[in-house]
Structure 1
Amino acid sequence: MIIAEQIEISAKKDSTKTPLLIHYIKSKKIPENNRILDIIKNDLIFIEQFDLTVIQKLKLPRKQERIELSKQYPFGIFMLDKPTKIDVYIIDLSTNKTLVGKRIFKHENERRLGHTIADLIIESLTGSPGFFSTYIAYTKEVLTPKNPYIATKQLCIAEYDGSHETVLVEKPGLIFGLRWDPAIPRIFYSQHTKTNIQLRMVNLSKKIHTVADNDGITMLPTFMPNQGIIVAATNNNKFSQLYEYTLQGITQLTFFEGNSTAPSFSAGDTMLYFCSDFKNNSPHIFGWNMKNGIENVIELTPEGYCTCPVINSTGNVLVYTKLVKGYMQIFLYDIQTKMHRQMTFDQTNKESCSWSPCNTYLLYCATKHDSQIIQLNIITGTKKTITPTKYRCSYPAWSPVYKDFLLVLS
């Protein structure tokens, strides 16, 4: 006889988290080493929103059992795991109403299946899309036995938590400025060559294409609704300026006596944010409504040394870095209230911020003696190092949620 097992995920109850029940029913034909449930649990624990309890039984609870469960849990996730499919029911236990009922057919990769179910749960309960099926990209320096004194540069991708890394590009020369295409799963990046710094892109099949091969520097693209991109480039100019690349050609957007870089376009809006030192030889953050002339740019950070602006997907919060007491720290700027808030205080230099699709997390590179990729929860302040500490890792970029796309990392 199999005895029902109840597993308390969090030994200490947290009153700030929502109690959530997972009621898991496994067919007798499912092998004991099935990992799907563990993957779902780990995903839900990661976001720090739920006080999770998992019950494993042989059948669904009856009506009276549900009434008793509703006294402890506002919501219940009921999963029937069968050999070829998993039926998932998300139920409001207080009203006994089924919010979601979905049949998910299995494929050979348990990780992707578990992430898909966790994404479904998050979207159903919070209204925000889950991000467990997304990826992060970053660069890594690796010393090889053939040349132990010169590091090889790699462009890597991994799952959202840094696990299951895959190398997409491995070449000599600095790789930096990673950006995901919002429409197609591919990564734009800049690569040092003997004569210039090219803008390139690589897809997830490791096919590399050169996007811009101009004199000087081309880097840090941001993406426009018309399928064009805005980049920072020198193009034989004394200073780095912003240019728009479309199928019709190249248009110079800025003409400042200073370097303008790090453009970040607000999706669904006409606002472009960027960094420039044209006003007082120190980099500040500017906002430009592109419906108006460039002379109407607004300075958002009139004080301090500020760099690396990135707007979130809803266009209401801008992240940037600012020099404070000798270290670059992360700040958030609320577009509506115009308030600035410092998010980090430790003695490392931060750069290259990237938003999660749900706008709750930030990736950034922290550098002191080495450089690592850190994941920051902007609500709780929790920080996690998600890259191997034996390597120098930089330039993180978090992918959007791509529809109808599945990649299995080894």
Structure 2
Amino acid sequence: MNSLKQCLRGFIAAMLLLAGSVQADMSIEVVGVGSQQYPIAIAPFKNEIGLSQAITPVVASDLGNSGLFKIISVSGDASLQAFTPNEINQSALQAAGAQTALVGQVIPEGDQVIVRFWLVDLATKQELIAFEKRGNANQTRRLAHQIADMIYAKLTGKSGVFASRIAYVLKTPGRYQLQVADADGYGAQTVLASRMPIMSPKWSPDGGKLAYVSFEKEKPIVYVHELATGKRIEAANFKGSNSAPAWSPDGKQLAVVLSKDLGSQVYVVNVDGTNARRITQSGEINTEPSFTADGRSIIFTSDRGGSPQIYRQSLAGGDAVRLTNSGGFNASGKISPDGRSMTYITRSNGYRVAVMDLASRQSMVLTDTNADDSPSFSPNSQMILYETDVGRRGTLAIVSTDGRVKQRLKAQGGEVRQPAWGPMLR
């Protein structure tokens, strides 16, 4: 809760051009699964050995780590191996417990690869997916994430998010690093490193930029950082504190918290820092702004009622509407991309991630940890990424919006804080 307490007190080129070496800095530990799991057999693709990254291990890892799929291993059993639908041993795979099977093959073409794959329903022999994808031979991991997304969408009816990215702050002694990684924590790359704190990274709607707060000039300043080029601009550098950036859905504006007037107030500014317009008009502390999905309102945390609670303010004016009415502490609100839900931190035997259905105003606490902060929705609105403490060490975790699926992203070194889940890149 460090960043929250401080506030309350006072991509395709990006993948190639971000500074830093590619590493597997985090691994996923599944600590809760869905109420229904889909048994799927995944056969190693023909010719995938020798690629920069074999495809099927990534697909299996993505689906298995989601908590919604039971992976039936085919590796090592020649009788179950298949590269096309006609080669599938239907009865043997069904006997192994599979309901569907993924088979495929890789065709090298110079520095490119063509990946042909099929998802087959074993009961009916129907081809649920028959597709061909082409990509760079050095980026087969991304192709694998895209294939996993297609399978997830076909079998669950909801969009996958395996091909998306996350941003977070890695803290080691005397050093802060703003990093970007795949949604599974792989391929971490450093965007910015500093001896001074870095806070509150937020993705632009197109996934090409990050807004964040840096103390590198010995005061909090909001920067907008273009990932493909490394170019940065100061989006908010006013007198006093500049903090808590949030993008408008069209990517043209930022909501920020400024202390240049009385207390901490929410403003909207253009991305280049011009045309600052004050939104909140009352309360000593108004912070943690976030746009609603339609871009017409901002939600924020305020002490105006005597304790931290979440309010919604129309950009057209009028009175703010209080959204949280139970409990003495509710903060860090974020609206889901589909506009139906709000995640936030509530004090309930500690600080925990909660979700509210905006239509009914019914809320549910999702986590059983007690030092949660910085919740962020996945682009399909089905999962929430957040920071928590495990063994007094900052780490990242993911929980589904029904609370059933739980994951922990275990970092190899340092504390990981301030996560933000990026949009899907097309």
Q: Secondary structure at the match of 2:240?
A: coil
Structure with the greater relative contact order (CA < 8 A, sep ≥ 6): 1 or 2? 2
- The 1:258/1:44 distance shift into structure 2, 3 A limit, reads same
Q: Which residue of 1 aligns with 2:57?
A: 38
- The 1:96/1:253 distance shift into structure 2, 3 A limit, reads same
Q: Are the counterparts in 1 of residues 345 and 373 from structure 2 also a CA contact under 8 Å?
A: yes
Q: Give the alignment's TM-score, normalised by structure 1.
A: 0.82
Q: Secondary structure at the match of 2:59?
A: helix
1:238 matched to 2:262? The reply is yes
- The 1:227/1:156 distance shift into structure 2, 3 A limit, reads closer
1:19 matched to 2:39? The reply is yes
1:78 matched to 2:86? The reply is no
- The 1:61/1:278 distance shift into structure 2, 3 A limit, reads closer
Q: Are the counterparts in 1 of residues 267 and 278 from structure 2 also a CA contact under 8 Å?
A: yes
1:115 is displaced (CA, Å) by 1.6
1:358 is displaced (CA, Å) by 2.4
Aligned-residue identity in percent: 22
1:309 matched to 2:333? The reply is yes
1:357-385 Cα distance to aligned partner (Å, 9 max, x none): 22232221214733222222344544433
1:153 matched to 2:176? The reply is yes
Q: What is the rounded CA distance, in whole Å, between the counterparts of 1:15 and 1:140 in structure 2?
A: 33
Q: Secondary structure at the match of 2:342?
A: strand
Q: Are the counterparts in 2 of residues 77 and 90 from structure 1 also a CA contact under 8 Å?
A: yes
- What amino acid does structure 1 have at the position aligned with 2:138? E
Q: Which residue of 2 aligns with 1:147?
A: none
Q: What is the rounded CA distance, in whole Å, between the counterparts of 1:188 and 1:46 in structure 2?
A: 29
- The 1:17/1:254 distance shift into structure 2, 3 A limit, reads same
2:305 equivalent among 271, 274, 279: 279
- What amino acid does structure 2 have at the position aligned with 1:86? V
Q: Secondary structure at the match of 1:239?
A: coil
1:101-143 Cα distance to aligned partner (Å, 9 max, x none): 2212242233222222212222233333322222211112223
1:304 is displaced (CA, Å) by 0.8
1:48 equivalent among 44, 56, 67: 67
Q: What is the rounded CA distance, in whole Å, between the counterparts of 2:52 and 2:353 in structure 1?
A: 43
Q: Are the counterparts in 1 of residues 178 and 192 from structure 2 also a CA contact under 8 Å?
A: yes
Which ranges of 4 or more aligned residues in structure 1 deviate by more than 6 Å?
Answer: none
Q: Are the counterparts in 1 of residues 43 and 56 from structure 2 also a CA contact under 8 Å?
A: no
The number of aligned residues is: 379
- What amino acid does structure 2 have at the position aligned with 1:196? K
Larger displacement relative to structure 2 (53-62 or 63-72):
63-72
- The 1:100/1:177 distance shift into structure 2, 3 A limit, reads same
Q: Which residue of 1 aligns with 2:245?
A: 221
- What amino acid does structure 1 have at the position aligned with 2:37? K
1:315-337 Cα distance to aligned partner (Å, 9 max, x none): 11111112234x21222111112
1:399 is displaced (CA, Å) by 1.0
Q: What is the rounded CA distance, in whole Å, between the counterparts of 1:351 and 1:108 in structure 2?
A: 36
1:199 is displaced (CA, Å) by 0.6
- The 1:312/1:198 distance shift into structure 2, 3 A limit, reads same
1:140 matched to 2:159? The reply is no
- What amino acid does structure 2 have at the position aligned with 1:17? Q
In structure 2, the gaps of 5 or more residues are: 1-32, 75-79
Q: Are the counterparts in 1 of residues 52 and 139 from structure 2 also a CA contact under 8 Å?
A: no
Q: Which residue of 2 aligns with 1:105?
A: 134
Q: Secondary structure at the match of 1:344?
A: coil
Q: Which residue of 2 aligns with 1:371?
A: 394
| RMSD (Å) for aligned C-alpha atoms | 3.0
Q: Give the alignment's TM-score, normalised by structure 2.
A: 0.79
- What amino acid does structure 1 have at the position aligned with 2:343? V
2:354 equivalent among 327, 331, 344: 331
| Larger of the two Rg values belongs to structure | 1
2:204 equivalent among 167, 181, 185: 181
